Amino acid sequence: MQQTINACADKLAEKLISLSESKEAIAVGGHTAAFTMDVIASTAFGVDVDASSNPDHPFVYHSKPFLGLAKSEQFFIKSLQIIRVILIVLLPRKVKEIFGRFFDMTFAGQESMSYFENLVNRVLDLKREDAQKRNDFLSMCIDNMVDIKDVHKDSINISDGKNLDNPRVYPVYLTGFSCEYNDYEQMHEIFKSNLCLGLTKEEVIGNAVIFLIAGYESTGATLQNLFYLLAWYPEIQEKLYTLTSEISDEDGNCDYEELQKLEYLECCILETLRLFPPLPRLDRVANKDVTVKGIRIPKDMIVEFQVYALQHDPKYWPEPELFRPERFSSENKDEFNQYAFLSFGAGNRACIGKRLAMLELKVAIAKTLKMVKFEKGANTPRMENLTYKKGPGLIQTMEPLKVNIVKRQSE
């Protein structure tokens, strides 16, 4: 997988080198987003995109209905857009048709959903024709896929109460996609009464789309934010450049094990996530009655954690507005409350994509710093002057984070 991410990072580095010819500050957010699009397309779907150079690629075009959630500044409109995407992903096509007739609502994203259905079908055909093993996320899901036709009445019955704790047993659901079986009542009975060792095709497509939604904006935004911070803290940038150069070849490629050992690089990423958490808050539901410091929280109550406020609280983070990566060093890890950092969440519901996101960021940083450096310019906003867009979804600054890009001279 790292080789695939390296190839995507090469495209990002080449793009930044070309942008360095301009003497003006550049908003790098679109280019870091293109990098994460390339990574998801290749690692999850096995598709080579190069989104920065090919913005009209079918994969990019059909991803937009699921990713374009922040076009409106109005909270209400944003919320409706999010609900619409959830309905596109989760509701069966027949239900969407009925829903649309009653509420005069169309699901324009269905064309894009069909694109991802066809993508899965194409990979299925390739696997039937060629036994060569692919390492992308979609192929791994398909390797664990079952056909609905193989689910029979003598399968494991939910009412038996058997094997329900077996993590290899998955309930069979029909998610938001068309299905070749027209007898919906029969399918409903199958889904209601059986468990199946594997994923249905509809679940494979659903997981792939969720992979796209969850992994796109957050990682790209974090990379943009780190480049912005490095422009304001050149001494940290040079230290990071020196450390990554020691373990990389002339093209900026790093050995996986050496990359994981580079603590300072990880500290820089975590400190960036502390200052710019992807989500402003997290919600959890209490699964039992509990009292915390005299406050009673009944079962099923929604508890909201203000992540941004918590990670900028001087009670937990001295001089919280400063970029200080050493906060997360092994020497200092016992000096702060682990639950005061929630950019990846915590507990059983923590971000399951953390390892991939961290690998993407580490590879991209090592590769780009080998080729370019980032400097603040006249149009680079100061941190204390940053303002943020209102509404649900990811934290986004009102103004673009522009930096000057300077090509490094060959040593």
Residue 168 burial (CB < 10 Å; 0-12/13-18/19+)? exposed
Q: Do 89 and 209 contact (CB within 8 A), yes or no?
A: yes
Q: Do 156 and 169 contact (CB within 8 A), yes or no?
A: yes
Residue 374 burial (CB < 10 Å; 0-12/13-18/19+)? buried
Q: How far apart are CA 408 and CA 411, in angstroms?
A: 9
Radius of gyration, CA atoms only, the chain = 23
Q: How far apart are CA 23 and CA 379, in angstroms?
A: 12
Classified as helix, coil or strand, 395 is: coil
For residue 70, the 8-state DSSP code is -
Element (H, E) at 292: strand 290-292
Cβ-Cβ contacts under 8 Å for 337 (sequence gap 6 or more): 316
Q: How far apart are CA 367 and CA 308, in angstroms?
A: 29
For residue 133, the 8-state DSSP code is P
For residues 218, 372, 262, 345, the Cα torsion angle rounded to the nearest 10 degrees is: -10
163 to 2, 149, 192, 198, 327: CA distances (angstroms) = 36, 21, 16, 14, 45
Query: Where do the H-state alpha helices sit in 130-216?
Result: 137-143, 184-193, 201-215
Q: Residue 196, annotated ligand binder? A: no
Q: Do 22 and 375 contact (CB within 8 A), yes or no?
A: no
- Binding-site residues for heme: 351
- Binding-site residues: 351
